[in-house]
Structure 1
């Protein structure tokens, strides 16, 4: 009975859904590849469409702009962070909860493509505003998730402060990773959280 219920709750995607997902992934992959190889500004939507073997009209049904293609590759990050925090033990101190969640994610999602996209964004002024918006979403969702985990009001000031500090450390860790590719972002993250504790203590 349980197996039947589980199957009903997670139906296998139909052919149409699978084809849409495959097309979305192909456009995203070819777009990122071209942006990294040629430069964001130098690459046109027509070139991305040709590389993905779709028409420009089809591409625009999936992505409204080149910016959307880039940020689609990072769209899940705020929720991934929130889910990682939600999975931590409820009795962990707020700062430990965030640090452990972020370090775990850094170890599992540190890829060459992630670094290439981060380099691309850093080198492209027209993408930087969208990247800042991503960090703002992370901070809001992180504060809400911490508050829910601790049974506190959604606007609890401690949760908001910890979320803001965590996002600042996330930005610094990313910048350090770009400057020193051989050094893992979690190594700098550990140092940054330790420094924050020393300052706060």
Structure 2
């Protein structure tokens, strides 16, 4: 029984991954709006009904590729020294995480979202979840209440820096998001210190 469940689970994961990868390939090649769900089903060699068993919309397919991002941020925070100040902890966790998202594939996904208004709106909702997750992870790492205001403010600032860094990454040919992020955090520290 458990062997058939395992096989079924592997087949399901393989089909999910195939639909996702074929959809992303088509979105990058043709554009999000020009790609239909039928196009995706044909490319993945599944029926439209099967596609809907896995994904309810094209938007859902795109955002499924980023579904693990909040967990990755929380894990990056857990790896930071507990003695680090909150802002340093958030900055360093994001910088550590950025190394996983510097690929051409990640940049293509970011560009697709940036250039598609319907995806951009959904991405903002995802950033709210990421901000909430980061605030809780910071509080947990510091042994503070989950709704600690310093952690919430730090998370809001850090996710603001992340958004600015993504914009910089997409606007530059060499993709300097990490460097921009470091400069943005340095600028924030100057503002907080009353230097600017």
If the TM-score is normalised by the length of the shorter chain, which range does it land in?
Answer: over 0.9
| Alpha-carbon shift at residue 154 of structure 1 (Å) | 1.3
1:142 equivalenced with 2:138 (yes/no)? no
Give the match for residue 75 of structure 2.
Answer: 83
Give the match for residue 158 of structure 1.
Answer: 150
What are the within-5 Å matches in structure 2 for residues 25-40 of structure 1? 25-40=17-32
**Aligned-residue CA RMSD (Å):** 1.3
Instruction: Give a deviation string over 1:160-180, Cα, whole Å, max 9, x none.
Output: 110000000000000000000
- Unmatched tracts of structure 2, length 5 or more: none
- Unmatched tracts of structure 1, length 5 or more: 1-10
What are the within-5 Å matches in structure 2 for residues 44-55 of structure 1? 44-55=36-47
1:103 pairs with 84, 91, 95, which one?
95
Instruction: Give a deviation string over 1:5-64, Cα, whole Å, max 9, x none.
Output: xxxxxx9x8211111111101100000110111111111101000000111110100000
1:189 equivalenced with 2:188 (yes/no)? no
Give the match for residue 62 of structure 1.
Answer: 54
- Alpha-carbon separation, structure 1, partners of 2:177 and 2:99: 9
| TM-score, structure 2 normalization | 0.94
The runs of at least 4 aligned residues of structure 1 exceeding 2 Å deviation read none
Instruction: Give a deviation string over 1:140-189, Cα, whole Å, max 9, x none.
Output: 11111111111111111110110000000000000000000303211111
Q: Which range moves more in the overlay, 156-165 or 180-189?
A: 180-189
- Alpha-carbon separation, structure 2, partners of 1:77 and 1:117: 13
What SS is found at the alignment partner of 1:43?
Answer: coil
What SS is found at the alignment partner of 1:14?
Answer: helix
- Alpha-carbon separation, structure 2, partners of 1:90 and 1:108: 23
| Alpha-carbon shift at residue 110 of structure 1 (Å) | 1.3
- Alpha-carbon separation, structure 1, partners of 2:159 and 2:132: 10
Size of the alignment, in residue pairs?
190
